[in-house]
Chains A and B, each alone.
Chain A
Amino acid sequence: MTPSDALKKTPLFAAHQKLGARMVDFGGWLMPVQYTGIIDEHNAVREAAGVFDISHMGEFFLADATSGEVLNRLLTNDVAKLAVGQGQYTLMLNDKGGVIDDLIVYRTDKLEYLLIVNASKIDDDREWILNRGLGQATFKDSSDNMSALALQGPKALDIARAFLGAGWPEPKRNEITTYSWNCQEILAARTGYTGEDGIELFFPNEIAENFFLALLEAGKPFGLKPCGLGARDTLRLEAGLPLNGNDLSDKRTPLEAGLGFFVSLTKEAIFPGKEALLKQKSDGVKEKLVAFRLKDKGPPPRPHYHLFRGGEQVGEVTSGAPSPTLGCGIGLAYVRADCAEPGTQLDLEVRGARVPVEVVKKPIYKRQS
C-alpha cells in the first residue's frame, strides 16, 4: 500500500472529510469508501439518489479533422457512429486482444472528442495513445484540471433539473451537453456505473467544492446522499458492469468478457487486437465472464474463489459481494464456455465448503419500471 501522504487527493478531499467519509487508497488515490455505510448509500441510489466523487478519473481531449479516424485506429468501437453530443463505451486493447482499459468516448464537438479513462490507468493510457502517433490530431490531458461527480438514481434527473435550472439542455441516454454554471463551463453526460438513470458532471477544479456542496444542498429534499466507492462497487456489480483490474485484464479479451457489442470487427480501421479478436471469434471463445448468484443465504463470493461443476473446477470469481438489493451473494466469474448458459447450476468453494450458485443473465439486478 502507498503511504497515505503519497496518495493523490481530489479537489473534494476536504469536503469528504467534513462529511465524515472514511478514506481509503484506491489505485493511488485517497478516496471516500463510505460516509454513513455501504448498504445505506447503496439503497439511497436504488431508492432516491446518490452522488459520487469521480474526479480521480482521467479526461483526455482529442481534436482536429483527423481525430475520428485516429480514434477508430486506437479503440474497438466505431466512433463514426457518433453524432455530435453522443457517447459510446469502448475499449483499448493490446495486440493479443487483452484489455488495457475500458472507457467512454464522447463527441463533444464536430472535431473534438472527450475520453473518460480509469483513474489508475491515466498515465498508461496517455503514453499508449501518444506512442501510437496521432498524426495531425492534438491531444490534451485535462485530468489534473477537471473534477467530476456521478449523480445516480431514480431521482437524479429531478435533482439535476432543480440544481441546474430551466435553461439546462438535458442530455438523452449516452448524450453529453455543455452548460454554463456560475459562468463556468460544465459538461453533463447521461451515463453512469450503477444500473440507474443518472448524470455524470465534469467541471473545473476551481469550482469543485462549491459545485459539490451546492448539488448536495439542492438534492436534500429528494433524499440525495454522498456515496463512496464501496456502494459504487456493489451497485455496478448488481448491474453486471465489469471493473477493469477485476473482471477485465490484459489477459482477457472483450469477447470473453461479453463486451462484443462494443467491438466493431466490421469497421475498416485496424485497431490493436483486431486480428486476435477475429481469430478468437472464428475459433470460439473458451471461457466467458458470467454473472451468478447464490441459491440461498450464505457467504458472499469474493475474487479468486473457485467454481465447480461436480468435482471439476470450471471457473474463477473476479468480483463478488453481498447484494444489498437482492439479499444474497452475487458475483462475476470466468467459466468454461459450456458452463456459461444462464440457469447452469455450479458450486462455489468458500473456505473448503461448497455453496450452490446459479449462472444468471446480466444485469443481475434490473429496475422494474
Chain B
Amino acid sequence: MSNIPEQLRYAASHEWVSVEGGIGTVGITDHAQQELSDVVYVDLPKVGAQAAAGAVIAVIESVKAASDIYAPVSGEITEINGSLTAKPELVNQDPYGAWLFRLKLSNPAELDALKDAAAYKAQVGG
C-alpha cells in the first residue's frame, strides 16, 4: 500500500510534480521508491539544463540497477536538491519531501496530460 497525496500530479513513469508560481517541483512516488528499494546514488541534471516532457532528465541508482527518471513536464532546471548527494536514502525515507529538481515550466498545458491522484492510484493498484 503506497502513499499517493491528493494535491500532486503524476506521470505514468512514477514521477510526481507540484506547481507553484510557474515553478514545478519533481520527485518520485512512494510506489516508485518501494519498487527501487535502497537508493544509493542520485544523478541530477545541471541547473540551466532544458528538460523535455517524457525525456530522461536524471538517474536514480538502487543496489540492483540504475533507473531513468523522466521529466513530467518541459522547462528549464532552476534548482536541484543537493542534500541527496550525501543522503540519497532520503528518497526512500520521504519520497514526497525528497524532491529531485525544480524547473520553470515552459508549457504549463502539459500538466493536463498528467494523472491526478485517483488515476495514478488506479495505475499502481492502490
Contacts and interface: CB of A to CB of B under 8 A. Distances in A.
Chains A and B bind each other: yes
Interface of A: 33-34, 37-39, 230, 234, 298-300, 302, 321-322, 324, 351
B37 A38 contact: yes
B61 interface: yes
Contacts of B66: 299-300, 302
Given A299-B66, A302-B66, A351-B43, A322 B37 contact: no
A355 B61 CA distance: 15
B41 A322 contact: yes
Contacts of A39: 38, 63
6 contacts: A234-B63, A299-B61, A300-B61, A300-B66, A324-B63, A351-B43
B1 interface: no
B65 interface: yes
Nearest to B40: A322
B6 to A, nearest CB: 28
A238 B65 CA distance: 17
Contacts of A302: 65-66
Contact of B38 (A38, A298, A299, A351): A38
Given A33-B64, A298-B41, 19 more contacts: A37-B38, A38-B38, A38-B63, A39-B63, A230-B63, A234-B63, A299-B41, A299-B66, A300-B40, A300-B66, A321-B63, A321-B64, A322-B40, A322-B41, A322-B61, A322-B63, A324-B63, A351-B43, A351-B59
A33 B65 CA distance: 13
Contacts of A37: 37-38
Contacts of A234: 63
A195 B40 CA distance: 23
Nearest to A324: B63
A322 B40 CA distance: 7
A37 to B, nearest CB: 6
Interface in B53-84: 59, 61, 63-66
Interface in B3-62: 37-38, 40-41, 43, 59, 61
Contacts of B63: 38-39, 230, 234, 321-322, 324
A211 B43 CA distance: 44
A351 B59 CA distance: 10
Nearest to B42: A299
B115 to A, nearest CB: 25
B10 to A, nearest CB: 23
B37 A34 contact: yes
B65 to A, nearest CB: 7
Contacts of A300: 40-41, 61, 66
Contact of A38 (B43, B59, B61, B64): B64
A37 B37 CA distance: 7
Nearest to A327: B40
Nearest to B59: A351
Q: Which 4 A-B pairs have the closest CB atoms?
A: A322-B40, A38-B63, A39-B38, A299-B41
Contacts of B61: 299-300, 322
A234 B65 CA distance: 12
A249 B61 CA distance: 26
Contacts of B38: 37-39
Residue from the set B43, B63, B65 with the largest chain A CB neighbour count within 10 Å: B63
Contacts of B37: 34, 37-38
A46 to B, nearest CB: 14
A39 B66 CA distance: 16
Nearest to A302: B66
Nearest to A299: B41
A39 B64 CA distance: 11
A299 B43 contact: yes
Contacts of A324: 63
Contacts of A38: 37-38, 63-64
B119 to A, nearest CB: 25
A318 to B, nearest CB: 15
Contacts of B65: 302
A103 B43 CA distance: 39
A232 to B, nearest CB: 12
